[in-house]
């Protein structure tokens, strides 16, 4: 099967829910490729893998390196790469140069950037220059320092129009899909019903056309637990159990056992024995 494209994701509007997860590394990409429609190399990797306080410190080089390993280790799902803070806001030309670099160096299927009306001119320029773009509105992690932090959006009806206008601006600029993050269900449902492109929710209810979560969160490998995360397995616990066992076996010399030890060829052994 061919790798899914941004257009394949777009054509799923109003059909079966679109399954998305983040992937930052080859082992995770290999493990999830079969079951997801879209993998996002999200700049959340700054917090999840590098323990940064927020996503603002993440660099273009980090995104490119992680994206290369995710694309290299997968063959089926559509791979989208987050443009990190500071790489697309200044001008449409800078946004194009940096996005084109990501596309060329990683062979991904498209990029994602945060923002609504403010960034729609840039989205239009990128899509008209043949770069598939995924939008991202609602809670925007790259704007947490000035924009209300991590609070849920749309709890007051008076806030709704701004987010609806943002969503429409992103669609009109040519984005193939739109992430809605941290949004009250009725607003997410309203935006989903207005748009012709799929909405992908994270903390934005099952009313969206698809869902995305951070893979490490569902595997129990991160130390945050927002309300919208469901932990499907506790891998941190499983790792601790395995490492405890390994440490005990190293200490009592039961590891490595015969099956893990290299022997010499029999004839060399007898030659060396001098008998
Ligand atoms: O950076 C990220 O992982 C995201 C999410 C939508 C999960 O933007």
Digit-coded pLDDT (tens) for 142-154: 999 998 788 999 9
What pLDDT was estimated at residue 272?
A: 54
Residue nearest to atom 2 of ligand 1 (CA): 42
How far, in Å, from the CA of 263 to the mean position of ligand 1?
A: 49
Percent of the chain scored above 70 by pLDDT? 97
CATH number for 6-233: choose from 3.20.20.60, 2.60.120.560, 3.40.50.1360, 2.60.40.420: 3.20.20.60
How far, in Å, from the CA of 138 to the mean position of ligand 1?
A: 12
What's the rounded Cα separation, in Å, for the pair 68 and 112? Answer: 16
Ligand 1 contact via 199 beta carbon (within 6 Å): no
Strand-pairing partners, residue 212, are 20
Angle among Cα 211, 213, 216 to the nearest 5 degrees reads 155
23, 38, 43, best to mutate for ligand 1 pocket (most atoms within 8 Å of CB): 43
Higher-confidence residue: 265 or 57? 57
Ligand 1 contact via 214 beta carbon (within 6 Å): yes
92-123 core/surface letters (b: 16 or more CB in 10 A; e: else): beebbebbeebbebbebbbbbbbbbbebbebb
Ligand 1 contact via 212 beta carbon (within 6 Å): yes
Ligand 1 contact via 80 beta carbon (within 6 Å): no
Angle among Cα 93, 50, 141 to the nearest 5 degrees reads 50
What pLDDT was estimated at residue 224?
A: 78
Structure tokens at 25: 């590394």
Question: Phi first, then psi: what are they for 188, rounded to 5°?
Answer: -60, -40
Is the predicted pLDDT of residue 266 greater than 70, yes or no?
A: yes
Ligand 1 contact via 37 beta carbon (within 6 Å): no
Is the predicted pLDDT of residue 271 greater than 60, yes or no?
A: no
Other Cβ atoms within 10 Å of 170 Cβ, number: 28
What pLDDT was estimated at residue 275?
A: 45
Residue nearest to atom 5 of ligand 1 (CA): 42
- In terms of Cα–Cα distance, which of 123, 199, 113 is closest to 154? 199
| Domains in the chain: boundaries | 6-233
Spatial CB neighbours of 206, under 8 Å, sequence gap ≥ 6: 17
Structure tokens at 241: 């159990």
Residue 181 annotated among the catalytic residues of the structure: yes
């Amino acid at each position: 099967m061919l790798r899914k494209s941004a257009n394949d994701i777009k054509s799923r509007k109003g059909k079966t829910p679109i399954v998305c997860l983040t992937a930052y590394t080859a082992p995770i990409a290999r493990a999830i490729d079969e079951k997801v429609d879209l993998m996002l190399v999200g700049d959340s990797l700054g917090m999840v893998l590098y323990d940064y306080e927020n996503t603002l410190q993440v660099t273009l080089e980090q995104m490119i390196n992680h994206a290369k390993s995710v694309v290299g280790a997968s063959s089926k799902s559509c791979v989208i790469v987050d443009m990190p803070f500071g790489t697309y806001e200044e001008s449409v030309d800078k946004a194009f140069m940096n996005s084109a670099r990501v596309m060329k160096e990683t062979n991904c299927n498209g990029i994602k950037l945060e923002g609504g009306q403010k960034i729609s001119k840039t989205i239009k320029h990128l899509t008209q220059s043949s770069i598939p773009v995924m939008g991202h509105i609602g809670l925007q992690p790259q704007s947490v320092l000035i924009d209300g932090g991590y609070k849920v959006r749309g709890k007051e009806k008076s806030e709704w129009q701004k987010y609806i206008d943002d969503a429409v601006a992103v669609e009109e600029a040519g984005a193939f899909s739109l992430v809605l993050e941290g949004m009250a269900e009725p607003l997410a449902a309203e935006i989903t019903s207005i748009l012709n492109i799929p909405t992908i929710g994270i903390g934005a209810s099952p009313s969206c056309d698809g869902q995305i979560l951070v893979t490490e969160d569902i595997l129990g490998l991160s130390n945050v637990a927002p309300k919208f995360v469901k932990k499907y397995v506790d891998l941190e616990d499983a790792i601790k159990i395995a490492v405890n066992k390994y440490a005990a076996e190293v200490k009592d010399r039961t590891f490595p056992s015969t099956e893990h030890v290299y022997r010499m060829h029999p004839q060399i052994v007898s030659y060396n024995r001098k008998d």
